Chains A and B, each alone.
Chain A
Amino acid sequence: MDYKTIDGLKYTKKHEWVRLEGNAAVIGLCDYAQDKLGEIVFVELPDVGAEVLAGKSAAVIESVKAVADLYSPLSGTVTEINEELLDQPELINSDPYGEAWVYKMEISDESEMANLMDKAEYEKFIVEEEEK
């Protein structure tokens, strides 16, 4: 498999990743998604303080050809956004799991974590996606 994944992160079927830090979480876009989108040229971020809902659009990522929503993996409140992405959206292509985190949030419903996949589950999921 050509797509990078990281140990210790949680993943969604829409190809977002989550780094859990107690009651907080860092959210970003997976390598698979950035590869499918191609060169990313624009990112629209949520406001700090905004309420986000699991499965609902929280940010917009645009490549030259496509517009894609980033769906919040969990419900809660946005506490910090990565403003670097506004000037350098291409960071999502070059470092999706590192420098290109998208936002940080406070989790309001911990039970939603059960819906997320771990690395092994996610890797299996992308193999299935590729075979479709």
Chain B
Amino acid sequence: MSEAKKTPFYEKHLALDGKIVDYSGWLLPVQYTKGLVGEVYDTRRTASLFDVSHMGEVSVAGKDALDFLQKLVVNDISRLKDNAIMYSPVCYPDGGVVDDILIYRLGAENYLLVVNAANTDKDFAWFQDNLSGDVILKNLSPEYAQLALQGPNSEKILQQLTGEPLAEMKNYHFKADLEVAGVNCIVSRTGYTGEDGFEIYCLNEGASKLWDAVWEAGKKQGLSPAGLGARDVLRLEASMPLYGHELGKELTPLMAGLDRFVALEKAAPFNGQEALKKQKKEGLSKKLYGLEMLERGVPREGYPVRAGDEEIGWISSGSFSPTLDKFIAMAFLDPEAVAKYGEVQVAIRNRTYRARFTKMPFYRRKK
């Protein structure tokens, strides 16, 4: 293993007493002094600032960029317009998932892909393996810093730093070449928390200045820093999948319930198309469901789920939800068993705890 990397915001985390952990090769704060639960509340009620510089960025440019991407991703980006963003799983031919990514369309022949930190090198190698035509791929990850500003007050905070009318920026849209506090940024209305918010990309050189400016602008808006712990709980409450939990080599996007991001009938053939069509037709042996504990107990990844006398699946992500004041989980379960039983049990150490099915997302913000 190579030594864990520091993001350009590392010193900021230390100054704020962030508790630093090694997260897939990156030194990042798991929480700050307020603690995970307080950080989750802040994101839901005011605003939080997250360092997400570990995320990978890959540029795809050239005359055949669209064709290349259409083959690579399972969503249909032919309808994607300039300054718009699409979410898509990337699959292997067998339907297993390489990664789930965001695709930013900068222009007809120019795209930016945002990939998961732990997958960046694997993804880049996979993209290169699939390369065809006139396409130039660049791994920009080492050069870019990224902040996520999330929560209802995000717009008020960021608006102080840019002349761009942010109220006009819709969800899953972005602006490139935007000056934020004098730093050249890409700003998108996206996030991984279930709240309104922005993700802001800049070159490493501008990172410190950007952080300080956002921090200053947030002072009167209840902005606080939030760590990876809060980020994971927030995304679970919003039922957003996380690679390695709800998605992976042995899991398909259909199993994870991401059907609306899988363009099975896309005109352009893509990796995984046949396998996914077949799976759709034949039915799924496991599918993702939402669970809510009926007895106090923390459902965690890997715990078996039982119904009747059968083991019917496993927890993929679970936690105490501060927002809902409940214990919630996502679980891969046998759909036939789910139809048969109204209630399940989660095996935690030496005993089982009752749980019931519940709709996802667990949490949805009021508009």
Question: A-side interface residues toward B, CB under 8 Å?
Answer: 38-39, 41-42, 44, 60, 62, 64-65, 67, 86-87
A41-B320, A44-B349 are known contacts. Are A67 and B35 too (CB-CB below 8 A)? Answer: no
> Could you tell me the distance between the alpha carbons of A39 and B298 in the complex, rounded to whole angstroms?
13
Cβ distance B297 to chain A, nearest Cβ, rounded Å: 6
Cβ distance A67 to chain B, nearest Cβ, rounded Å: 7
> Could you tell me the distance between the alpha carbons of A38 and B327 in the complex, rounded to whole angstroms?
17
On chain B, the residues within 8 Å of A41 by CB distance are: 298, 320, 327
Cβ distance B123 to chain A, nearest Cβ, rounded Å: 27
Interface of B is mostly: mixed
**B33-68 interface with A by 8 A CB criterion:** 35-37
On chain A, the residues within 8 Å of B35 by CB distance are: 38-39
Are B31 and A62 closer than 8 Å at their CB atoms?
Answer: no
Give the most central of A60, A62, A65, A87: most B CB within 10 Å.
Answer: A65
Are A42 and B31 closer than 8 Å at their CB atoms?
Answer: no
Of all chain B residues, which has the CB nearest A86? B296
A38-B35, A39-B36, A39-B37 are known contacts. Are A60 and B349 too (CB-CB below 8 A)? Answer: yes
Cβ distance A6 to chain B, nearest Cβ, rounded Å: 23
> Could you tell me the distance between the alpha carbons of A15 and B109 in the complex, rounded to whole angstroms?
59
Instruction: List 25 A–B pairs whose Cβ atoms lie within 8 Å, in order of A's numbering.
Output: A38-B31, A38-B35, A39-B35, A39-B36, A39-B37, A41-B298, A41-B320, A41-B327, A42-B296, A42-B297, A42-B320, A44-B349, A60-B349, A64-B36, A64-B37, A64-B229, A64-B319, A64-B320, A64-B322, A65-B30, A65-B36, A67-B298, A67-B300, A86-B296, A87-B296
- Does B114 belong to the interface (CB within 8 Å)? no
> Could you tell me the distance between the alpha carbons of A62 and B320 in the complex, rounded to whole angstroms?
10
Cβ distance A44 to chain B, nearest Cβ, rounded Å: 7
> Could you tell me the distance between the alpha carbons of A67 and B320 in the complex, rounded to whole angstroms?
12
Give the most central of B31, B296, B297: most A CB within 10 Å.
Answer: B296
Are B36 and A42 closer than 8 Å at their CB atoms?
Answer: no
- Does B330 belong to the interface (CB within 8 Å)? no
On chain A, the residues within 8 Å of B322 by CB distance are: 64
Q: How large is the interface on B (under 10, 10 to 19, 20 to 34, 35 or more residues)?
A: 10 to 19
Of all chain A residues, which has the CB nearest B233? A64
Please list the 3 inter-chain residue pairs (A to B) with the smallest Cβ-Cβ separation, ordered nearest first: A41-B320, A39-B37, A62-B298
Give the number of A-B contacts (CB < 8 Å). 31
On chain A, the residues within 8 Å of B297 by CB distance are: 42
Cβ distance B60 to chain A, nearest Cβ, rounded Å: 36
On chain A, the residues within 8 Å of B36 by CB distance are: 38-39, 64-65
Of all chain A residues, which has the CB nearest B321? A64
> Could you tell me the distance between the alpha carbons of A62 and B300 in the complex, rounded to whole angstroms?
11
Give the most central of A42, A60, A62: most B CB within 10 Å.
Answer: A42
Cβ distance A102 to chain B, nearest Cβ, rounded Å: 16
As a 0/1 sequence over residues 120 to 141 of chain B, the CB contacts with chain A under 8 angstroms (1 = contact) are: 0000000000000000000000
On chain A, the residues within 8 Å of B37 by CB distance are: 39, 64
Cβ distance B20 to chain A, nearest Cβ, rounded Å: 14
Of all chain B residues, which has the CB nearest A40? B320
> Could you tell me the distance between the alpha carbons of A25 and B40 in the complex, rounded to whole angstroms?
38
Cβ distance A68 to chain B, nearest Cβ, rounded Å: 12
Cβ distance A79 to chain B, nearest Cβ, rounded Å: 21
> Could you tell me the distance between the alpha carbons of A97 and B30 in the complex, rounded to whole angstroms?
27
Are A65 and B229 closer than 8 Å at their CB atoms?
Answer: yes
Among B229, B233, B298, the residue within 8 A (CB) of A42 is B298
On chain A, the residues within 8 Å of B229 by CB distance are: 38, 64-65
Cβ distance A40 to chain B, nearest Cβ, rounded Å: 10
Give the most central of A41, A60, A86: most B CB within 10 Å.
Answer: A41
On chain B, the residues within 8 Å of A38 by CB distance are: 31, 35-36, 229
On chain B, the residues within 8 Å of A39 by CB distance are: 35-37
Of all chain A residues, which has the CB nearest B232? A65
As a 0/1 sequence over residues 200 to 234 of chain B, the CB contacts with chain A under 8 angstroms (1 = contact) are: 00000000000000000000000000000100010
**B284-341 interface with A by 8 A CB criterion:** 296-298, 300, 319-320, 322, 327
